[in-house]
A and B are shown apart, each in its own frame.
Chain A
Amino acid sequence: MRDLSSTPAIDKVAIDALQDVLSAEHAALWCYSLAVAFLSSARAEQARSDTEAHRELRSKVAQTLTEFGQRPVSAQPAYATPQPVEDGLSAAVLVVVAETDAMAAWRSVLERSTLPELRQVALDTLTATTVRCARWRAVVGLTPEIPVFPGRPDPPR
Chain B
Amino acid sequence: MSDPHLVARAEFGEAPRNGEMLRRDRALRPPASTPTRRQVLSALMLVPVALTGACSLPTSSSRAGLDPLIALADRARADAALAAAAVAADPDLAEQVKPLRAARAEHAVALDAEVARLDPGAVARTRPPVAADADDPPPRATLTRLREAVLASGRAAADVAVGLPADRVGLVASVTACCAAYGALLI
Q: B residues near A, CB below 8 A?
A: 1-12, 15, 17-18, 21-22, 25, 29, 31-37, 39-52, 55, 57-58, 99, 102-103, 106-107, 110, 154, 158, 161-163, 166-167, 169-171, 173-178, 180-182, 184-185
Contact = CB atoms under 8 A, between A and B. Distances in A.
A152 B174 CA distance: 7
A73 to B, nearest CB: 6
Contact of B11 (A24, A80, A125, A143): A80
A37 interface: no
B12 A97 contact: no
A39 interface: no
Contacts of B173: 107, 110, 122-123, 126, 151
Contacts of A144: 99, 102-103
B178 A147 contact: yes
13 contacts: A8-B35, A11-B34, A70-B32, A80-B7, A101-B7, A116-B57, A127-B154, A135-B185, A146-B99, A146-B103, A149-B171, A152-B171, A153-B5
Contacts of B103: 144, 146, 148
Contacts of A124: 47, 49-52
A125 to B, nearest CB: 6
A28 B139 CA distance: 44
Nearest to B40: A9
A98 B9 CA distance: 12
A109 to B, nearest CB: 9
A129 B181 CA distance: 9
Contacts, number: 234
Contact of A131 (B34, B174, B185): B185
Contacts of A126: 173-174, 176-177
Contact of B43 (A67, A134, A143): A67
Given A80-B6, A140-B1, A150 B181 contact: yes
B8 A79 contact: yes
B46 A119 contact: no
Nearest to A115: B40
Given A80-B11, A110-B170, A125-B47, A101 B163 contact: no
Contacts of A15: 31
Given A68-B35, A123-B161, A134-B185, A149 B174 contact: yes
User: Which residue among B29, B58, B176 has the maximum number of chain A CB atoms within 10 Å of its CB?
Assistant: B176
Contacts of A115: 37, 40
A64 interface: yes
Given A9-B35, A80-B6, A146 B15 contact: no
A147 B3 CA distance: 15
A87 interface: no
> Which one of A78, A101, A127, A128 has the greatest number of beta carbons of chain B within 10 Å?
A127
Given A69-B32, A120-B55, A146-B103, A110 B185 contact: no
